Every structure is written in C-alpha cells, then in structure tokens.
Structure 1
Amino acid sequence: MTAAPAHSSPVAASARDLTKVYGTGEAEVRALDGVTVDLFTGEFTAVMGPSGSGKSTLMHCLAALDTPTAGEAVVGGSSLGTLKDKQLTRLRREQIGFVFQAFNLVPTLTAQENILLPLDLAGRKPDPAWFDQVVDAVGMRSRLGHKPTELSGGQQQRAACARALVSRPAIVFADEPTGNLDSTSSAEVLGFLRRSVDELGQTIVMVTHDPVAASYTDRVLFLADGRIVEEMRRPDRDSILAAMARLTPARTTGN
C-alpha cells in the first residue's frame, strides 16, 4: 500500500497499532492486526472489506463500543483507553454520533422527539438554528410530527441521521446505513450524508459493502484479515469494484 499523501485537515479520530483478539490458543482470531490510520475532520470515509475483514470491529473500537486488546484509539484528542466509564459515556454522548442499519428509532416517539432524544438524555437544550439547519438538510421538516411507522424506510434513516448530527458530534460512525433501504432511499440518505460533510462540515466514517455507497465518499479504506491493505481517494464505483475483486480473487460473482 502506498503512503497516504500529507493532509491539511485536523485529525478527528485515529488508531495506532490497534489490535483486537478474540479467543485463545487454536481458537484465537485476530479481528484487527495492528491497524494505524487517521480519520480527518470534514471528510467522508468508507471502510470496506470482505466479511470478517475487521471493518465493523475497527469502527466499534474507534466509537468506544468495544475495547481493543492492544494499541490506542483516539477521538477528539482523547485516548479512549485512558478514560473511565463515566468519561467514555460522556464522550459517546457528546463527541460521537451513530447511524445504524436498523434505524433504531423509538416507535412511540415522533420524528422530532427521536431526533432530539440524545440531547434530552444528556439534559442539553437544542440549538434552534442548528436543529433547523439539520432538519432542512435532511429534508424532514414536513414529517417531524410523524412516528416511525408513518415514515418510509428512507425517511426513518434520514431522521436517524439527523439524530446523529443534532448534538454536533466530532465524528459520526455509520454502520451499513443503507443496508435496509431500496436504491431510491439509499440515494436520499447518501446524498444527505455527502451534503452534511460538504455543507455542515461533518466528519463521517461509514462501514459498507456497497460500491455505490462508497462512491459518495472522499476516501475508501480497504481491510483484509484485520489490516488496511489499500486506500483510495476520490473513488468511483468501478475503481472500488476493481479493488474489491483484488481482495477477493476467488470470487467471480457478486452476492
């Protein structure tokens, strides 16, 4: 893998020799095997790789959802391994946003209440101007009074994206955010994520298996066997497909 070019943006999160081992002896699995990478502020990064390559484990370690076996994960200048439980909870609440494949909206709450839920749980009042900006960017203004069952899948995921952004996190982690969506809804959500980077200055890291989704990003990191084996900037669908084919040479058809 060629060295990445020098980057002028600040680092939002980083991994240094990050290792995650499950099991012992013959059953040992190295989900991450010494990953070192910087994730830059105001940039949209995709993490891709074959099943079992470590992409979700990397995201979970950087998002303070899992603890590495060795190495260091840093978010917003804080080394996660040095933080106590309460500090980690506060960091996840204030510095990190999450978007999941399953939306994870509360069914009894309206879209607006779901979007504001992280702030409510933290006892913080929303910034009205920022809330309006996020809601308009995600195109949910006319649906704020609707509950999840009254929203399409794309609308639910856009509400989940707004929820991740409303607390102004240092970084948003998105785990297969279009995995449950049709192509039209996927394009809506990806377009919003792209605009949130370009227009709102957000930093987003997205785990995905979809070359079309990854083509919306500024940078793609390819993992195999727990290591970053390739990196691509200004990706397009065809170059991503070619890289994935190099990582999985035995596969001749997509799944």
Structure 2
Amino acid sequence: MEESFSRNRALRRESVRTAGVTKVYGQGGAEVHALRGVDVGFGAGEFTAIMGPSGSGKSTLLHCLAGLDAVTSGAVWLGDIEITALTDRELTKLRREHIGFIFQSFNLLPTLTARENILLPLEIAGRRPDPRLVERVVERVRLADRLGHRPSELSGGQQQRVAVARALVSRPEVIFADEPTGNLDSNSGTDLLEFLRVSVDEFGQTIIMVTHDPHAASYADRVVFVRDGQFVHELDRPTADTVLDTMKKLEG
C-alpha cells in the first residue's frame, strides 16, 4: 500500500501537502496526540474526502490543512507556500485570498441577503467580482430567484448552497468542507454533493472534504483514511460500498 501511495503521489500535482504533521493537545499526563506524523498530499483539481473512525483526527487534520489550527510539529504547504511558517497576519491574508470554506453550520450573516453573503469575501478582500462567474455559479446552484432573500427566508439546503456559491465565486486555490451535509436532509445533501462534483468537473476546483458518510465520499475522486492520527489507506474512484467496507475494517 505504501509503494502504491508513493507512486500515486509522485504522479499527482498537489495543491496541498503535509510532512510529518503532529498535533498534541494538553500537557504531561493530559496530552492527547490527535495527529501522529501525517504525510499526505491532495491533488489539484480533485475532490478528496477524508474519513476515519470517530476520534481518528480527521477534523483536526482538515483544520491544520486550512490553517485554522496550528500544528505542533511538521509542515503544511498550500502550493509552494509553507503555511506553517506564516505569521498570524500572513495566514489571515492567505485564507482570505486563497482558501474557501464550507461548514455544516453555513456561517451566513443573518442581516445580509443571499447575494450579499455570496459576495462578502470578495468585498472584504477588496476584489471585484467576475459577473460572468457569479452568474454561472448562481445558476449552477439554482439560487437565481433567491438572491434577495435573507438566510431566515431560505431552507437549510438553500443556505448551504449560498455557502457553496460564496466559496466558489472568489476562485480559491482550494475549498475545505467540514461535514457539509451534516445538517441537511438526504435530498438537500445529495444536491450539495452534486454541486461540489460540478465545481470540480466544470470549474476545476480543488475540494478537500471531511465526512463520515460513505455516500458522500462516493462523490469524491479519492478517499484518504485516517486512524489514530495517522494516514493509513486511500481509495481511488470510491463507491459507497468500497468506502463502507474499508471503514468496517478500520473500525474493526
């Protein structure tokens, strides 16, 4: 498996990669080793899912990859930039200009309309939106008739679609998604996953998603499995069945 992983990694143009990443919470007898020397890469223009048993470190890994949490040791690169060497100010700028986020809590501002929420990151960064891209994204996520509505006037699925559109219109180098279907019903969740798939296939977006759902993972190009804070396995062209079988083995 290690030889196969090394060969695949050598052939893959990586958007994000790690080297020996560890994350330790607490001190002394209260230490918790959430990540234990993780070496893994994520292909540019690919949809990658991160999976693992509860407490495996998958969400911690995502947060370290996105610069939302500092590593204890090791390094994380976004393209050619070592984000673990940046100051807090530089890291904030990098996240604003190069990274998009989709979380299960949506994180929309309640006083802004859907359109205003979508364009907010560009406004904060002082960048002008590309009208054609905005129109294309809005059409793809089926929000054209809801742009004037505030979050309280939208369903959960529509709110999550606003969050997806917000992440896409700034053309980030990579989008990180943390359990994005967690608060959605099955139909809305499937819609969201199809939108993510489209963003990779039609927009060339790089997406890294943490999920516990084999169905959600089946939309990815590749699944990376984490157990006890370590990278342990990967699947290319996953199906819900192959993901479920792998998870059963890991949990066993």
Post-superposition CA distance 1:13-51 (Å, at most 9, x none): 111111001112222111000000111111000001111
Counterpart amino acid of residue 155 in structure 1: Q
User: Is contact 2:102-2:163 (8 Å) kept?
Assistant: yes
**Partner of 2:209 in structure 1?**
206
Aligned residues: 249
Instruction: Verify: 1:187 aligned to 2:190, yes or no.
Output: yes
Structure 2: distance between partners of 1:68 and 1:150? 39
Displacement of 1:134: 1.4
Instruction: Verify: 1:174 aligned to 2:177, yes or no.
Output: yes
Displacement of 1:11: 1.2
**Partner of 1:24 in structure 2?**
27
**Partner of 2:136 in structure 1?**
133
User: Is contact 1:137-1:196 (8 Å) kept?
Assistant: no
Alignment of 1:1-255 (within 5 A): 1-2=1-2, 3-4=4-5, 5-6=7-8, 8-249=11-252
Displacement of 1:189: 0.3
Normalising by structure 1, we get a TM-score of: 0.95
User: Is contact 1:76-1:95 (8 Å) kept?
Assistant: no
Structure 2: distance between partners of 1:137 and 1:71? 39
Counterpart secondary structure, 1:184:
helix
Moved more, 6-15 or 180-189: 6-15
User: Is contact 1:22-1:30 (8 Å) kept?
Assistant: yes
Displacement of 1:9: 4.5
Post-superposition CA distance 1:56-100 (Å, at most 9, x none): 111111101011000000113110122122211110001100000
Structure 2: distance between partners of 1:9 and 1:120? 34
Normalising by structure 2, we get a TM-score of: 0.96
Displacement of 1:52: 1.0
**Partner of 1:253 in structure 2?**
none
Displacement of 1:122: 1.2
Moved more, 9-18 or 110-119: 9-18
- Report percent identity of matched pairs: 59
Structure 1: distance between partners of 2:26 and 2:155? 41
**RMSD across aligned positions (CA):** 1.1
Counterpart amino acid of residue 38 in structure 1: G
Post-superposition CA distance 1:133-174 (Å, at most 9, x none): 211121211111111111111111011011011110000000
User: Is contact 2:67-2:84 (8 Å) kept?
Assistant: no
Counterpart secondary structure, 2:224:
strand
Counterpart secondary structure, 1:141:
coil
Structure 1: distance between partners of 2:139 and 2:43? 25
Post-superposition CA distance 1:184-240 (Å, at most 9, x none): 000100000000000000000000001100010000011110001110010001111
Structure 2: distance between partners of 1:87 and 1:130? 27
Q: Structure 1: which 5+ runs fail to align?
A: 250-255
Counterpart secondary structure, 1:232:
strand
